Amino acid sequence: MNTIFIQDLRVTTRIGIYAWERELPQTLQLDLELGLASDQAFRSDDFNDALDYAAVVARLNRYAGEHGHQLLERFAEGVADLVLAEFAATWVRVRVAKLAALPNVKALGVAIERRRG
């Protein structure tokens, strides 16, 4: 199995169940692992065979800026759906955390794994 990972991506979004939370931009931390359908890039050393990491990061930043969800759970599901649909991953593991959302808590969040089909 071949995977690509993106670790500690910080995105800015408006999220929360309380109206006051959605008034202020918040930083979320994302960690992703993407299962690759092909191992061609590992053999060919050709960018055309590879997943464009920068494109994934840019798309996730746009998604964070555009989304309107209240729950981290739904945000994580949207990230998984996006990666599976737009980047041809066979599976994805997504971890989304709010940073310092509660006193004495460094991060809290959700983790999901989804497969195409």
pLDDT of residue 62: 97
Q: Which of 58, 98, 103, 106 is catalytic?
A: 98
Q: Reply yes or no on whether the pLDDT at 43 is more than 80.
A: yes
User: How much is the mean pLDDT over the chain?
Assistant: 91
Q: Is the pLDDT of residue 59 over 80?
A: yes
**Three-class secondary structure of residue 74 per DSSP:** helix
The question of whether 98 is a catalytic residue gets the answer yes
Confidence of residue 44 (pLDDT cuts 50, 70, 90): very high
Domain that holds residue 70: 3-115
Q: Is the pLDDT of residue 21 over 80?
A: no
Give residue-wise pLDDT tens across range 67-81. Answer: 878 999 999 999 999
Helices and strands per DSSP (H, E), number in the chain = 4, 4
If one counts the domains in the chain, the total is: 1
Q: Is 4 helix (H, G, I), strand (E, B) or coil?
A: strand
- Taking the C-alpha atoms of residue 93 and residue 67, their distance in angstroms, rounded to an integer, is 20
